[in-house]
Amino acid sequence: MYAIGLMDQGNIDTREPVLDTVDRVSELCFGLFMALTFVGAVSAVTAGEGAGRKMFYTALGCNLAWGLADAVMFLVRTLTNRGRRLRLALTVRHEPDAAAGVRALRDALPRWVAPLIADTELELIRARIAAIPDLPQRPRFLRADMVAAAAIFLIVVSSTFPVALPFVVFSHVPTALIVSRALTIVILFGSGIALGRHSGFGEWKAGLAMAALGVLLTMAIIALGG
């Protein structure tokens, strides 16, 4: 929880792991949808010798750019959230009125959590924050942030290959399109199973829902000429 995560200096500079199941699946799906849409659009206007390789390299370039942008925005979001936590900690620490410090902590709690935590519990947190001997004056990046950003970049880029590689393997573009879309739907089905297992919604239901989403997206791309 936001306020509870401020109880010591170590937690000021740390963050919850970003690459949990939902994050990994989300980044993978973003990359798949981006590549699938791009390949479908390019296939409608690309023909002749070397068309498959052109589509592969074009889709790869697209996801390289998308992966880089996604990784950079993750770092921006991480530093911004860490700055908010640090600002709250500094506010609580320098607030001479204990009641005002408790109110600041309560305002920072998610709405669904606030009714579950009493002011007496928040006072304990406020006292621990006030007792921290030294707080950083500004948020900073950690090594783990860079590792997570690199992982996001790699996930997005790697999602290009199931979609675009068939255009290198198969010289017949319509065949490559069928294989590409089939692989995408299979991967989406597996991603849905992972989400269902993580959330408790039901593995097969989530898998089929994600596969259906892939089918609908494919139909939309075909309808638009891809």
Confidence of residue 220 (pLDDT cuts 50, 70, 90): confident
Confidence of residue 1 (pLDDT cuts 50, 70, 90): very low
Answer yes or no: are the C-beta atoms of 67 and 153 closer than 8 Å: yes
Domain of 169? 4-223
User: Residue 93 pLDDT > 60, yes or no?
Assistant: yes
Confidence of residue 5 (pLDDT cuts 50, 70, 90): very low
Q: What pLDDT is recorded for position 8?
A: 40
Q: Which of 119, 128, 118, 117 is nearest to 93 (CA)?
A: 128
Q: What pLDDT is recorded for position 102?
A: 93
* Stronger pLDDT, 9 or 136, i.e. the higher one: 136
Answer yes or no: are the C-beta atoms of 167 and 55 closer than 8 Å: yes
Non-local (6+) Cβ contacts of 109 within 8 A are 1, 2, 3, 117
User: Residue 45 pLDDT > 70, yes or no?
Assistant: no
Q: What is the mean pLDDT of residues 38-48?
A: 65
Phi, psi angle pair for 2, to nearest 5°: -60, -50
Q: What pLDDT is recorded for position 122?
A: 93
User: Residue 68 pLDDT > 90, yes or no?
Assistant: yes
User: Residue 110 pLDDT > 80, yes or no?
Assistant: yes
Q: What percent of the chain lies above the pLDDT cut of 70?
A: 84
How many domains would you assign to the chain? Answer: 1
Handedness of CA 208, 209, 210, 215 (dihedral sign): positive
Mean pLDDT check: name the lowest of 49-63, 152-166, 187-201. 49-63
Q: How many CA atoms lie within 13 A of 74 on its CB side?
A: 24
H runs (alpha helix) in the chain: 9-12, 21-43, 51-94, 98-108, 119-130, 143-158, 160-164, 166-169, 173-199, 203-223
